[in-house]
Structure 1
């Protein structure tokens, strides 16, 4: 799926701004048939939950309505007119005036609605969107909805971040010619000092047109040309896209009829290769060691609403710490985030929204004995088909981003339980069919061990989430360090694959201090991370470390969460805790080094630096 861009043949109008907003209980039947009467307005993009003081809105389970008027530019006569949503959490039904134009399930991937012939250039239409935040066993992420005795709906879900909802990413109206470039796929390789770019162009529209393309370097000079919808071009003396040193070419694709361009589209891309060889993760044939974080799209007031100011500032903080990468935990992030990573050389692990496929976690938190996760009545039936569709949409959207070097199919699934292999093996096969160029991983939960995990051999990289010293052996870092090393060596011994830590950390209250190993203090967070780093440096097969989390984030209510999850090395408003400085010392010491073993890595910092 192509990003929306202005080109010589395409125009884009942003529909971001304030929309009329109402709960389903405040509107009558068929509210799309007329102007919604409401005093409430909600910004787009943003989650709606934290905007208003009414708890009935924050706690609402079900449908809310967004509405606004849209005027189609008068110059779009004879063009396709298309509506694009960056995401709607978690399901959307879209109406143009009284016509149903789109339905989409999945809160983190974009979708289009073709309005050609439904709306008219120069005229205004009423745009109405029903947004449904309910999570069930037929959604990714999953959840359950129960009816309370007083008739209210209660949402339960199995992941530890707040179920923000709304139109969280930009909405755009755009035009294309009737014959247009529908999709582009590029796969890059390296041949000596040259880059090789295999491409496939998909076109659509009633009238046939020829395809021609040019590759432009960053100065705008043409470095390669080709004709035809599928083929290969060679870039001599290629500038590679590298971590920390991004270089992007533009692929200019034109549909041509009688020698004249009918449609044009420009796709930025980078030339780079990714490979797992033995226990090494290679980018452009060189070993790469991941340093960085799991993150969240989470900010005060906006919830999961995309914000360019936070985007820029977060990447500044990544650079400040010396991080070279992050995982899009636990869902695909906004397209703007990946575009920014492409331009700035930050490596990304792209993850589906499949978090919560583990009823054992629920049992551990509630004390209620869990039922088998992959039983037919739970996630063993239609859920996998829904998961597969999310995987298709993620890979279709992000396949051309050079920053994305690996796909994570799920976070903390019950990979130790019966039925997990039957669930995941078809998804692994699908991912490899859709994109044979990128390695695959999943993030293993605490319950899955080297002895009982049933799916590790299906993947290329083992990503491990562990909280020794926090949830287990709380306050006992010596035992935590010993047990961690023993387990990680067990994963390596059984599977013989590269291994990385995809989550590790400790909740930390900023400003709380102690001279002892006291959980929740800033010193304890730093010391826990340092203990883990010592273990990483002793394991040659280790290829990366992603701390949980970059910044504190909001969660659902729970006695183990006070104003959210506090495992960030930055607060929710991006102020550094002591651990941020410790991590900065370590990662800046790793820059430019090939992490082959302890001799080439700096010692892990102990506590806060002076």
Structure 2
């Protein structure tokens, strides 16, 4: 799904601001709240005027996200419903509104999965009105590759709302000096850029891909225009190495959340820029969008600044053994008609489609995570995930795929790992297991990683490892919850990583403390961040900066087995 943009053929109007807000006392369909004005006593304006100049255009409403189920009404009319709290949806509202007219917009939201996190519901991202011409560019897919050090290619597929029967499609690649470096005609084809400046981690370069629907030969009037920022790069797996532009890449960084004080879960541009600057200062080159698609603006920033991203679906919580173990509940199968079922699989299918549709053109996104911590050891896991893996590969054959494995599915019990390109592990030896005993934890960790390496030989990323740490708590005895223990824990894991050849990345859990549901397992939220929730550093931050920025950085030492150097 293309993000709305304004140009000579399109207009856009942000509806962000303070909305009137009310909590439904019963089902919204019963109350029919959207047919009345909501009191401004709780304001979180819901009346809008359609610009007078939009009389000849198609008018759309777009919601970047409504967590987790959104129902949209224009005046007294139901317009659209969307299930899934982290991907955008839109609706053609042209028949319902008039240029210069006033409308009442109501959006009802309802909380749902993912479980285990603080379950914010509402509008955490932007809402837009936008226009397009009567026939318009409805979708663009670009993929890129590098032929050698000098030449690059942008493969493109341009879709239109209606067939272009009168006119043609023209596309250009434009460099950062606003110079056209390649052009072509047609809905499908290639742009060859020679010489090319590749998009690289830490050294981003973006071309503008500009597509036109133009009138017949001899005229230059554009019926529609759309632009994408495109980084030319390649991604592939070779043996136990992850290659970007043909060179081994070692992931350093975090799992994190869209979470901050006051705002809670949601996109905050000030915090986003601040977080990126902190990661850059530390030497972190990547992160995973745990456990849902982050705001598009986050990926655009990563594109522009050369940060590598692993994109993830919101499929978390598909492991009933975790909850049973925590709460002492009776064990029940995760995959069954009454639990994770065919209906769940259909929703998961849609989540994958929407994630790839939205994020497929971002150079920063190098891999897809299909799910986080499923019950990969249980009967029914393979039958559930095999078609979803096939779907992901069909929708995007250019990127590797992964899932994050939870410790109940070690190499002897896992049923899924061979379906994926990269093995991602979430492990907490020294915290949930062998709590406080880092000697025993080190032995367990190394033994398991070597077993995975022996069984598969795939690249491996530790996508979660960390300990809850209370900022300001210190101990001479390296006690759990103390800042010193967090540092010692990370040092132990890194010693093991450096001894295991197939490890190609380390994402600490987590970047910053974040809010969770109130339980006996959480002290005012999850405290595994190396920063506090308001981004104050704990002691481990300085250790990580030394590891990721110094001469011993794993990225600089990634010639372990095959002699390749960056």
TM (norm. structure 1) is 0.89
Query: Is the counterpart of residue 184 in structure 1 residue 140 in structure 2?
Result: yes
Who is 2:157 aligned against? Answer: 200
Who is 1:48 aligned against? Answer: none
Deviations 1:50-79 (A, max 9, x none): xxxxxxxxxxxxxxxxx7101111111110
CA positional deviation for 1:558: 0.8
The secondary structure found in structure 2 opposite 1:391 is helix
Q: 1:278 to 1:591 in 2, by over 3 A?
A: closer
Who is 2:118 aligned against? Answer: 162
- Using the alignment, how far apart are the partners of 2:251 and 2:99 within structure 1? 49
The secondary structure found in structure 2 opposite 1:17 is coil
Count of residues paired in the alignment: 554
- Using the alignment, how far apart are the partners of 2:431 and 2:371 within structure 1? 23
Deviations 1:234-261 (A, max 9, x none): 0001000000000000001000123321
Who is 1:128 aligned against? Answer: 106
Who is 2:451 aligned against? Answer: 490
The secondary structure found in structure 2 opposite 1:179 is coil
Who is 2:474 aligned against? Answer: 513
CA contact (8 A) 2:249 2:555 kept: no
CA positional deviation for 1:503: 0.1
- Using the alignment, how far apart are the partners of 1:593 and 1:37 within structure 2? 59
- Using the alignment, how far apart are the partners of 1:231 and 1:594 within structure 2? 39
- Using the alignment, how far apart are the partners of 1:481 and 1:597 within structure 2? 21
Who is 2:312 aligned against? Answer: 351
Query: Is the counterpart of residue 32 in structure 1 residue 34 in structure 2?
Result: yes
- Using the alignment, how far apart are the partners of 1:205 and 1:458 within structure 2? 38
The within-5 A match list for 1:407-556 is: 407-556=368-517
CA contact (8 A) 2:21 2:39 kept: no
The within-5 A match list for 1:91-170 is: 91-135=69-113, 141=114, 157=115, 159=116, 161-170=117-126
Who is 1:583 aligned against? Answer: 544
Who is 1:595 aligned against? Answer: 558
CA positional deviation for 1:99: 1.5
Who is 1:47 aligned against? Answer: none
- Using the alignment, how far apart are the partners of 2:521 and 2:75 within structure 1? 47
The secondary structure found in structure 1 opposite 2:471 is coil
- Using the alignment, how far apart are the partners of 2:185 and 2:349 within structure 1? 34
CA positional deviation for 1:433: 0.2
Who is 2:16 aligned against? Answer: 16
Which of the residues 318, 335, 338 maps onto 1:377?
338
Deviations 1:68-111 (A, max 9, x none): 10111111111011111110000111011111111100000000
- Using the alignment, how far apart are the partners of 2:298 and 2:233 within structure 1? 19
- Using the alignment, how far apart are the partners of 1:371 and 1:380 within structure 2? 13
Unaligned runs of 5+ in 2: none
TM (norm. structure 2) is 0.96
CA contact (8 A) 2:172 2:180 kept: yes
Q: 1:558 to 1:598 in 2, by over 3 A?
A: farther
CA positional deviation for 1:598: 9.9
Who is 1:249 aligned against? Answer: 207
CA RMSD after TM alignment: 1.5
CA positional deviation for 1:117: 2.0
CA positional deviation for 1:32: 1.3
- Using the alignment, how far apart are the partners of 1:561 and 1:597 within structure 2? 39
Structure 1 range deviating more: 300-309 or 531-540: 300-309
Deviations 1:486-532 (A, max 9, x none): 00111111112111100000000000001112000000000000000
- Using the alignment, how far apart are the partners of 2:560 and 2:279 within structure 1? 24
Which of the residues 198, 204, 211 maps onto 1:240?
198
The within-5 A match list for 1:34-53 is: 34-42=36-44
Report runs of 4+ in structure 1 exceeding 6 Å deviation: none
The secondary structure found in structure 2 opposite 1:563 is coil
Q: 1:451 to 1:290 in 2, by over 3 A?
A: same
Who is 1:2 aligned against? Answer: 2
Who is 2:59 aligned against? Answer: 81
Which of the residues 159, 163, 174 maps onto 1:216?
174
Which of the residues 267, 282, 291 maps onto 2:243?
282
CA contact (8 A) 2:250 2:554 kept: no
The secondary structure found in structure 1 opposite 2:309 is strand
- Using the alignment, how far apart are the partners of 1:506 and 1:598 within structure 2? 31
- Using the alignment, how far apart are the partners of 2:357 and 2:453 within structure 1? 32
The secondary structure found in structure 2 opposite 1:564 is coil
CA contact (8 A) 1:538 1:598 kept: no
The secondary structure found in structure 2 opposite 1:20 is coil
Query: Is the counterpart of residue 299 in structure 1 residue 260 in structure 2?
Result: yes
CA positional deviation for 1:38: 4.8
CA contact (8 A) 1:462 1:499 kept: yes
Deviations 1:173-231 (A, max 9, x none): 11111110000000111112110111000001476341101110001000000000001
CA contact (8 A) 2:141 2:156 kept: yes
- Using the alignment, how far apart are the partners of 1:381 and 1:237 within structure 2? 50
CA positional deviation for 1:264: 0.3
